């Protein structure tokens, strides 16, 4: 079964930085696009970013463009999200998700890691 | 625009059918056949139910079906069961290479 395990979520002050990690297993990580999606507890899903298989092509939501950077290490089967200039509105559970092989969507999700931005 | 529009809530009795709509624009829902639907039970992670408008992943009940007309996509659940009670989100790829999720719909099985 596909496994995605996020880590790195914590409390941080506004303006601070944080790096999330997502350890992938039980599938050929290097063959799949990967995504980050966030969700404020009790609220809806918001797509954050996508990265292609070799890490050369990125896409970002307007709300995080220029502040967040998605990357991957295929040798370590790990996806990252570097988050800079954090704002209170970035507070959410961040999910790592695998891109569907045959469609433009995500098919497996991690359990999520909570990021809280507060002074 | 930052999200696709869904009804906040829908309800139905066991055995009935319900349809959830998802309205976007010609730059997302209307641009491609890349609409997907997710089911999320309270405290759980989302589960992919439909992709590319109408395709069901392996293991998803055939009671779930999807369609699209113009800028509006729809998810239909037939033969409603108690376990279908959950939040449902649509999602679409966009002409900018990004994705939007819908605002979410809470399904109540009466």
Close Cβ partners of A84 (under 8 Å, ≥ 6 residues apart): A17, A67, A68, A69
Residue whose pair of structure tokens reads 């709300």 in the numeric block: A63
Tell me the shortest Cα–Cα distance from B3 to chain A, in angstroms.
8
Number of cross-chain residue pairs from A and B with Cβ atoms under 8 Å apart: 71
What's the distance, CA B50 to chain centroid? 7
Q: Determine the pLDDT at residue B8.
A: 97
Interior angle at CA A54, CA A52 and CA A56, nearest 5: 70
Q: From chain A, which residues contact B within 8 Å (Cβ)?
A: 35, 37, 44-47, 50, 59-63, 95, 100, 102-112
Per-residue pLDDT of chain A (119 residues; tens, 9 = 90+): 999 999 999 999 999 999 999 999 999 999 999 999 999 999 999 999 999 999 999 999 999 999 999 999 999 999 999 999 999 999 999 999 999 987 799 999 999 999 999 99
What pLDDT, on a 0 to 100 scale, did the predictor assign at position B1? 59
Contact flag B93-A104 (C-beta cutoff 8 Å): yes
Mean pLDDT of B12-20: 97
For residues B18 and B79, what is the distance between their CA atoms, to the nearest angstrom? 9
Tell me which of A44, A70, A95, A99 to substitute to probe the interface with B (most B C-beta atoms closer than 10 Å).
A44
Task: Give pLDDT tens digits for B58-108.
Answer: 999 999 999 999 999 999 999 999 999 999 999 999 999 999 999 999 999
Say if CB A86 and CB A14 are below 8 A apart. Answer: yes
Backbone angles phi, psi at B60, to 5 degrees: -85, 135
Task: Give CA–CA dist B98/A60, Å, rounded.
Answer: 7
Q: Using an 8 Å Cβ cutoff, are A98 and A30 in contact? A: no
Find out whether B21 and B89 touch, Cβ atoms under 8 Å: no
**In this structure, what are the phi and psi dihedrals at residue B75, rounded to the nearest 5 degrees?**
-115, 125
């Amino acid at each position: 079964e596909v496994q995605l395990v996020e880590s790195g979520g914590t409390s941080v002050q506004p303006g601070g930085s944080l790096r999330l990690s997502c350890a992938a297993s039980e599938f050929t990580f290097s063959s799949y696009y990967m995504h980050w999606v966030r969700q404020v507890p009790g609220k809806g899903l918001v797509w954050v970013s996508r990265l292609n298989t070799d890490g050369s092509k990125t896409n970002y939501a307007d709300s995080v463009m220029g502040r967040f950077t998605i990357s991957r290490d295929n040798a370590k089967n790990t996806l990252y999200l570097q988050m800079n200039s954090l704002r209170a509105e970035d507070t959410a559970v961040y999910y790592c998700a695998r891109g569907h092989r045959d469609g433009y969507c995500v098919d497996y999700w991690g359990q999520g890691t909570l990021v809280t931005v507060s002074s | 625009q930052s999200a696709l529009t869904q009804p906040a809530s829908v309800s139905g009795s066991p055995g009935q059918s319900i349809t959830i709509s998802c309205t976007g624009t010609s730059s997302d829902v209307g641009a491609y056949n890349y609409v997907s639907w997710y089911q999320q039970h309270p405290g759980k992670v989302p589960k992919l139910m439909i992709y590319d408008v109408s395709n069901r992943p392996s293991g998803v009940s055939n009671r779930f079906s999807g369609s699209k007309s113009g800028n509006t996509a729809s998810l239909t659940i037939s033969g409603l069961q108690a376990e279908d009670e959950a939040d449902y989100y649509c999602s679409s790829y966009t002409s900018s290479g990004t994705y939007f999720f819908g605002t979410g719909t809470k399904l109540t099985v009466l």
